[in-house]
Structure 1
Amino acid sequence: MNQNKEDKDTDLEDLEVCAKEGRKPRCVRRYRIRIDKDRYIVNLSHMTGLQLLEKAGKCDPTCWRIHQKLKGGKLVEIQPDEKVDFTTPGIERFVTTPCDQTDGSAPRREFSLPACDVDYLNDENLRWELIGAPGNGYVLVNNFPVPKGYNHSVVTAALRVETNYPDTQLDMVYFYPALQRVDGKAIPALAGKTIDNKSYQRWSRHRTPKNAWRPGVDYLGTHLVLVRHWLEREFTKRP
């Protein structure tokens, strides 16, 4: 379909054109949005900040921010889990800007991990922080990849570190932003948890007696392998 034919499509609304013409976008099936210099057609009436970054190929929200440029030039930052309604009048386009992981500050290291954990995180090129203290502390993996089928491709994965770890096991995982299946099927055993002043999604997944924690063998790396398995198994158990 060529550009002229698309422009005549009554089921397509161009946000930039609407803003320049000073009219409210219609509620239609498809919208043309502009992110930086590129234009995309989406079949959604709203998207989150993270989804917009992913559409632009900038999947890591710890490295990129996104703003909506309103008519008149005002830029308004969109948070990763914040929804943008494309029927809102005045949205011209979206603009991405690079940022470092902690806005110029060093990554937080408020307690220490065993050397094998640090080596694993660094070898995997994961951006990580340590907040709190053992017993009430968390490892935050800020660019944790998510397999296809979910509403986000990259999230922050948080792991609670108990007292006496690594003799005491790591258990469950917490995700920010919250994950959903794109096919709309419900994910069981979820709950909310506030971590680092953000609303994380707790996945209540636990080891079985046949797969018990092995002190001296299991560590953060083997637990993250298990977390990836939980994400993949969601679609094999409930296809």
Structure 2
Amino acid sequence: MQTNHENDDIIDLEDFAAAGKPVPKGKKYRIRIDKEVKVVVVDNMTGREILALVEKTPEKFILRQRIKGGVQPVGPDDSVSFLAPGVERFMTIPNEVTEGDGSQTRRQFALLKGDAAFLDSLNLRWESVVDGGVHAVIIYGWPLPSGYNVASADVHVRFNSGYPDTQLDMAYFAPALSRASGRGINNLSTTPFDGRSWQQWSRHRTPASAWRPGVDDLSTHMALVEDWLAAEVRK
């Protein structure tokens, strides 16, 4: 399983996903895991096998699959087909949960059932936190598209008293994000929350993406945040 960028028989999954082309059977497949590129000779692997390609284990790392339109968790024994439409890349996240360390995940305010289910589906640690009267959900280790200074960052979203009838707005990242190219990012500022400094992304809905009460929620807001992040590195 050696990396080879010159062999025309190798299918680059990220390129095929971007072009919307179907992935053919019976080839070698180039997959990206974090910043590492690997070539495999099979068209499906388990989460455990994908982690092993970069010398990691499910006991210490969580695996997530980036597909066109979203991110999905991959369990150790889940089978991933490289022939499935839209498979882009894979991300690993350190599993910081250890038994008996006495740490408590904070649930300082109740979430809507759908929002809690969405957060649980991410397979990432999350907390609901109240600080200075501000209610926010913090998601730890949110994966970022290629082109930023870090592969993942913590992100929090703030809730106002009118939610879900009134919109969610903006997103806040720690550590601060920058483009790997060195090009600046507009409309950023710094704000404190929960004892940390967060980078506020002042991005707002347009009339075309106006908040839809009864339809939009935390999951659709985070999909919009993903679009902001991807659009920034495409500039």
TM-score, structure 2 normalization: 0.57
Q: Secondary structure at the match of 2:212?
A: coil
The superposition leaves residues 11-65 of structure 1 with CA deviations (integer Å, 9 ceiling, x where unpaired) of xxxxxxxxxxxxxxxxxxxxxxxxxxxxxxxxxxxxxxxxxxxxx988xxxx8xx
Alignment partner, residue 127 of structure 1: 125
Q: Which letter maps to 1:100? A: V
Q: Secondary structure at the match of 1:107?
A: coil
Identity %: 45
8 Å Cα contact 2:128/2:138 also seen in 1: yes
8 Å Cα contact 2:148/2:233 also seen in 1: no
Alignment partner, residue 167 of structure 1: 165
Q: Distance in 1 between matches of 2:124 and 2:106?
A: 14
Give unpaired runs (5+ residues) of structure 1. Answer: 1-55, 64-96
Alpha-carbon distance, 1:128 to partner: 0.6
Q: Does 1:100 align with 2:97?
A: yes
Q: Distance in 2 between matches of 1:168 and 1:133?
A: 21
Alignment partner, residue 221 of structure 1: 219
Q: Secondary structure at the match of 1:225?
A: helix
Alignment partner, residue 3 of structure 1: none
Q: Secondary structure at the match of 1:132?
A: strand
Alpha-carbon distance, 1:154 to partner: 1.1
Q: Secondary structure at the match of 2:191?
A: strand
Alignment partner, residue 192 of structure 1: 190
Alpha-carbon distance, 1:136 to partner: 1.3
Q: Mapping of 1:51-62 within 5 angstroms?
A: none
8 Å Cα contact 1:134/1:161 also seen in 2: no
Instruction: Name the count of aligned residue pairs.
Output: 147
Q: Distance in 1 between matches of 2:55 and 2:156?
A: 24
TM-score, structure 1 normalization: 0.56
Cα 1:208–1:101, aligned 2, differ >3 Å: closer, same or farther?
Answer: farther
Q: Secondary structure at the match of 2:149?
A: coil
Q: Secondary structure at the match of 2:117?
A: helix
Q: Distance in 1 between matches of 2:230 and 2:123?
A: 21
Alpha-carbon distance, 1:98 to partner: 7.5
Give unpaired runs (5+ residues) of structure 2. Answer: 1-53, 62-93
Alpha-carbon distance, 1:178 to partner: 0.5
Largest Rg, 1 or 2: 1
